[in-house]
Each structure stands twice: as C-alpha cells, then as structure tokens.
C-alpha cells in the first residue's frame, strides 16, 4: 500500500473506533440518588418477580408485592419497563421498584 492509502486506512479505523465508543454510550442510563428517586416516584415497593411477558414493545413483569413504601392503597401486580435501557429482571428475585403509576394501575419503571 502507498503512504496515502495507509494513512487514510488508519484514519478510518480511528474514526470507526471513536464512533463505536459513542454508540455503546448511547444506552448509558443516568444514575439517580436513591433519595431523589424516592421523592420523584409515584410508587416505591419491594416486590418479588413471579412472571414475565412482552407486551407492545414493553416488558411486563408480574410481581408479588412484599411491602409498599410509597403509593396508592392498592396492591401492585404488574411492573412495566421499556426503552433502550430496560433492565432484565430475574424470576423469583426481590427488587426495590420506583416508578410512575399508570391509569390502569400498572407501574412503569424507567431503567
């Protein structure tokens, strides 16, 4: 290869690697202090995931509510999450959820 072709190739490789780094950072979720997450949430519960299903581009988790820290005086049975930064939760594991209450009684968690 000639000198100009080599330098163009090296430049393209560097630019490609730089763009790949930006693409992988596109799904970096902003961390929120636990106190701020609590204050901004409609619902804060401790629950165990008992089932999972995909619905309209979202992932719905069936949960067994263990404790309600903040929210309406009702049991929460479904946690819905979506978007590029969604988390994949394990069945039969306990989690602390913060989120927004939908009009249908489901909780939408943005992760």
Determine if residue 27 is labeled as part of a ligand binding site. Answer: yes
CA atoms within 13 A on the CB side of 49: 20
- Contacts for 81 with CB less than 8 Å, ≥ 6 apart: 58, 59, 61, 87, 108, 109, 110, 111
CATH number for region 34-109: 2.40.50.120
Where residue 19 falls among pLDDT bands split at 50, 70, 90? low
For the purposes of burial, counting CB atoms within 10 Å of the CB of 88, is it exposed (0-12), middle (13-18) or buried (19 or more)? exposed
- Calpha distance 97→81 (Å, rounded): 11
pLDDT tens string 88-103: 899 999 999 888 888 8
Domain limits, the chain: 1-28, 34-109
Q: Is the pTM of this model over 0.85?
A: no
What counts of helices (H) and strands (E) characterise the chain?
2, 5
Between the CA of residue 22 and those of 15, 67, 81, what are the distances in Å?
A: 11, 40, 24
Per-residue model confidence (pLDDT) at position 27: 57
Is it the case that residue 6 has pLDDT exceeding 80?
A: no
Residue 50 Cα to chain centre, angstroms:
18
Where residue 83 falls among pLDDT bands split at 50, 70, 90? confident
pLDDT tens string 28-64: 667 788 899 899 999 899 999 999 998 888 888 999 9
């Amino acid at each position: 290869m000639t000198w100009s072709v080599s330098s163009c190739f090296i430049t393209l490789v560097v630019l490609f690697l730089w763009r790949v780094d930006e693409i992988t950072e596109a799904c970096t979720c902003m961390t929120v202090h636990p106190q701020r997450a609590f204050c901004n949430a409609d619902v804060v519960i401790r629950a165990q995931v008992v089932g999972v299903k995909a619905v309209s581009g979202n992932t719905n988790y069936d949960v067994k509510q263990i404790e309600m820290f903040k929210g309406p005086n009702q049991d929460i049975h479904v946690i819905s999450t979506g978007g590029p930064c969604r988390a994949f939760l394990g069945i039969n594991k306990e989690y602390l959820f913060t989120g927004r209450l939908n009009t249908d009684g489901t909780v939408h968690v943005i992760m």
